[in-house]
């Protein structure tokens, strides 16, 4: 069982452009901090509703550019 939580912040930079095809105008997008997996770094991009910000509607994983 995992004992760590993933925190999210609003998307910025290249991640904002990457999430646009998946997001409707009425939805909000957040990104996680970099997560290391097998030596590679990834971010989780999630889309939430405008009113219900706790319920995730969609998730997209994206490799970071390091």
H or E stretch at 16: helix 14-19
> Is it the case that residue 2 has pLDDT exceeding 70?
no
Q: Express each pLDDT in 4-57 by its tens digit.
A: 777 888 999 888 888 899 888 888 899 988 888 888 888 888 888 877 666 777
- 65 has pLDDT over 70: no
Q: Supply the pLDDT for residue 7.
A: 82
Cα 10–Cα 12–Cα 7 angle in degrees, nearest 5: 35
- Report pLDDT for 11: 92
Q: H or E element: which one contains 35?
A: strand 35-37
Domain ranges of the chain: 27-66
30 within 8 A of 55, measured Cβ to Cβ = no
């Amino acid at each position: 069982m995992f004992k760590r939580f993933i925190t999210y912040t609003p998307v910025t930079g290249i991640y904002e452009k990457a999430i646009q095809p998946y997001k409707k105008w009425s939805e909000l997008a957040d990104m996680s901090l970099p997560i290391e997996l097998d030596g590679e770094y990834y971010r989780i991009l999630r889309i939430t509703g405008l009113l219900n910000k706790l319920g995730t509607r969609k998730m997209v994983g994206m490799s970071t550019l390091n």
